[in-house]
Amino acid sequence: MTHRRLRAGALVAALSLVVLASGRGVAHEGDDVAAASPVAPRFDPPAPGTYELPPILELAPHELLDPKGEHAPLLGLQPGEAALVSFVYLGCADQCPMATAVLQQVDRRISERPELAGRVVLVTVSFDPARDRPEQMGRLARALAPRGRWRFLTAPDPTTLAPVLEDFGQDAEELVAGAVPGARFSHVMKVFLVDGDSRVRNVYSAGFLDARVLVNDLLTVIEER
């Protein structure tokens, strides 16, 4: 049995592996699940401040590249502020755009909430630094036309990015070219709520990524001070 034959067999197997953040959610790399029709969530999110969001992780400071190619802090938060951080790659066809779309909804909702405007930072970070250069991130920023503070960052190289992903517990592994049609990375799409003390206070994936919930969680964290 040659190595090449072994690998080929394994890659065929990979085609049948769905990488999902949610079984009820959106299909992802290699998905052979039938196209799904949207069904609206059937709940009212709990009111801000009526529940607890205990710290999950503490983050170290990190520096990446902004759309001008200049070094910029990942979060740059002040006390009393909060951030939503999303890791994506621009070649991603499904879950990354979904995360970006929900962040855009949050951006719009925040702009209508004076108690949040100016106190929230949205952060979109590419985990494909080889292809997603600062200028590409800048192009995405212009397309989204943020109303509030929304940082678009990439890394100079994978080595710089690795400790950031490690710190958040965000998996992102580059796939063998062609192993999964249309996908370059294996990852679980996650969005992280970070408070002004650089602590992750909630993590969301496709099964529970709802702009109403995100806004209420931001209010819960910001107003607890």
Task: Give the DSSP letter of residue 187.
Answer: -
- Which one of residues 69, 171, 196, 199 is an interface residue with another protein (CB under 8 A)? 171
Among the listed ranges 64-72, 110-118, 157-165, 184-192, the one in contact with another protein (CB under 8 A) is 184-192
As measured in angstroms, the least distance from the Cβ of 142 to another protein is: 10
As measured in angstroms, the least distance from the Cβ of 150 to another protein is: 12
As measured in angstroms, the least distance from the Cβ of 220 to another protein is: 10
Among the listed ranges 78-86, 115-123, 132-140, 147-155, the one in contact with another protein (CB under 8 A) is 132-140
Nearer residue to another protein within complex by CB, 24 or 71 = 24
Torsion, Cα 38 100 103 29, to 10 degrees, reads 50
As measured in angstroms, the least distance from the Cβ of 127 to another protein is: 14
* Amino acid present at 22: S
Nearer residue to another protein within complex by CB, 52 or 70 = 52
- Output the CA angle 118-134-78, nearest 5 degrees: 25
Residues 6 or more apart from 148 whose CB is under 8 A from it? 107, 110, 111, 117, 118, 120, 122
Residues 6 or more apart from 43 whose CB is under 8 A from it? none
Asked if residue 23 binds another protein (CB under 8 A), the reply is yes
175 contacts 184 by C-beta, under 8 angstroms: yes
* Amino acid present at 127: F
Asked if residue 153 binds another protein (CB under 8 A), the reply is no
Restricted to residues 99-118, the positions that interact with another protein (CB under 8 A) are 100-102, 104-105, 108
- Which one of residues 111, 149, 175, 197 is an interface residue with another protein (CB under 8 A)? 175
Buried b (16+ CB within 10 A) or exposed e, 124-150: bbbbbbeebbbebbbebbeebebebbb
As measured in angstroms, the least distance from the Cβ of 195 to another protein is: 15
Asked if residue 162 binds another protein (CB under 8 A), the reply is no
Residues 6 or more apart from 55 whose CB is under 8 A from it? 195, 199, 200, 201
Asked if residue 215 binds another protein (CB under 8 A), the reply is no
Among the listed ranges 14-22, 61-69, 111-119, 156-164, the one in contact with another protein (CB under 8 A) is 14-22
| Among the listed residues 101, 100, 86, 102, the one whose alpha carbon sits nearest the alpha carbon of residue 187 | 86
As measured in angstroms, the least distance from the Cβ of 71 to another protein is: 24
Restricted to residues 42-101, the positions that interact with another protein (CB under 8 A) are 42-43, 45-46, 50-52, 54-57, 90, 93, 96-98, 100-101
- What are the structure tokens assigned to 116, written together? 């949040």
